[in-house]
Amino acid sequence: MNLIKMVVIGFGGMGSYHARDLIAAEAGAEVFGVYDIDPVKNKQAASEGFFVFDTLEAVLNHPEVEAVLIATPNDSHQELSLAALNAGKHVMCEKPAMMSSLELEEVLSVASEKELTFMVHQNRRWDDDFLIIRNLYQTREIGELFQIESRVHGANGIPGDWRHLKEHGGGMVLDWGVHLLDQMLFMIDCPLQSVMADLSYRLGDPVDDGFIAYLVFENGVRAIVEVGTSNFVKLPRWYVKGFEGTAVIKDWDLSGEIVKQTGHVAHNDLVPIQAGQGLTKTMAPPSEEATTCLPLPEAVADFDYIYANFAKCIREEAEPIVKSEEVMAILRLIEAIFESAKTQQTIHF
């Protein structure tokens, strides 16, 4: 398969990562060039050996450029995507796809009219911690999962510049939130029934510095998704409960464990423990025979890496791994999260 000739638009934190990662991945696409509005970034790209375009028009008018990878602040995604699609280029766009579902509708309609691929870079579907939890969800090793808690906690506030500003699509819902919500919807793959959410403005920014969302799916699964930037002590990255056990992944290093029930708890044999100023049987540890500890399963992605899939969508009309309707569902969920936080109401879908 001929490599897809891609131009990376925006050579900041993520764009420069893409440019280097695309080369390292050797997966169906190559960096044909780079374009940033900031001359300093262009100079940096040139010093790393990338061909640098002087203007966006030069990128879009170049007959050999087949696709662009948009890695600019969130509020510029729609304008750049539309310009690229209208110039006949395929698009891989950073998350969040757009600032609203309405913006996305317009982009998808142009992509479909022009028969071009528009894909969103939901790269965290390939994260090992997520793949392990997805494996548990699918294999039911600890029974059906009925409660899934996904969190990222940091203590550095909101980093960077535009991420503090509403007009640029700042805030944590549109940043980490997009990843965690995408993982949850991709894994559970069942319509959402409702969401209730609360946003944090503890740092005094005009955008949220964290949030908690409580999701209920039509198959009965409950999920908590939380992002925090003032958490000097972190809660685990994942905490999941199945009908036959509990699993935890503490951090990116994949430390964690599974505790599985081996048989029924013999309630009559439970010995009360001292707990604070009282006794409890309910919270006493289960007997050793009642549980067993298992290692976390392997992290396996049973689907192509995102660049390879993007290239196959263009060359071989493969099914996209990140589908347009999934991206639309994330944006609609995000809109519901903002609405729920504003009205303090549960939003039903």
Shortest CB 79 distance to ligand NAD, Å? 7
Based on CB atoms, which residue is closest to ligand NAD, 52 or 142?
A: 52
Token representation of residue 121:
């870079």
The end-to-end CA distance of the chain, in Å, is 42
Under the rule (CB under 6 A), what is the footprint of ligand NAD?
Answer: 9-15, 35-38, 41, 71-74, 76, 94-95, 121, 123
Q: 260: which residues sit within 8 A by CB, 6+ positions away?
A: 141, 142, 244, 245, 291, 292, 293, 294
Based on CB atoms, which residue is closest to ligand NAD, 37 or 279?
A: 37
Contact by Cβ (8 Å): 145, 50: no
DSSP classification of residue 41: H
Based on CB atoms, which residue is closest to ligand NAD, 162 or 214?
A: 162
**From CA 51, how far away is CA 19, in angstroms rounded?**
11
Shortest CB 35 distance to ligand NAD, Å? 6
DSSP classification of residue 115: T
Shortest CB 208 distance to ligand NAD, Å? 15
Residue nearest to ligand NAD (CB): 12
Based on CB atoms, which residue is closest to ligand NAD, 121 or 153?
A: 121
- CA distances, 102 to each of 87, 105, 225 (Å): 21, 5, 24
Amino acid identity, position 85: L
Place of tokens 């879009």: 60
Contact by Cβ (8 Å): 150, 143: no
- CA distances, 135 to each of 87, 116, 138, 302 (Å): 41, 32, 5, 10
Amino acid identity, position 180: L
Shortest CB 100 distance to ligand NAD, Å? 14
Shortest CB 99 distance to ligand NAD, Å? 10
Based on CB atoms, which residue is closest to ligand NAD, 9 or 148?
A: 9
Based on CB atoms, which residue is closest to ligand NAD, 15 or 236?
A: 15
Based on CB atoms, which residue is closest to ligand NAD, 247 or 322?
A: 322
Alpha carbon dihedral 265, 267, 273, 279, in 10-degree steps, equals 140
Across 155-191, b (16+ Cβ under 10 Å) vs e yields eeebeeeebbbeebbbbbbbbbbbbbbbbbbbbbeee
Shortest CB 236 distance to ligand NAD, Å? 21
Shortest CB 44 distance to ligand NAD, Å? 9
Shortest CB 175 distance to ligand NAD, Å? 6
Shortest CB 94 distance to ligand NAD, Å? 4
Could you tell me the maximum CA-CA distance found in the chain, to the nearest angstrom? 77
Based on CB atoms, which residue is closest to ligand NAD, 41 or 237?
A: 41
Token representation of residue 241:
């409960």
Neighbouring CB atoms inside 10 A of 204's CB total 7
Shortest CB 344 distance to ligand NAD, Å? 28
Based on CB atoms, which residue is closest to ligand NAD, 124 or 241?
A: 124
Based on CB atoms, which residue is closest to ligand NAD, 73 or 242?
A: 73
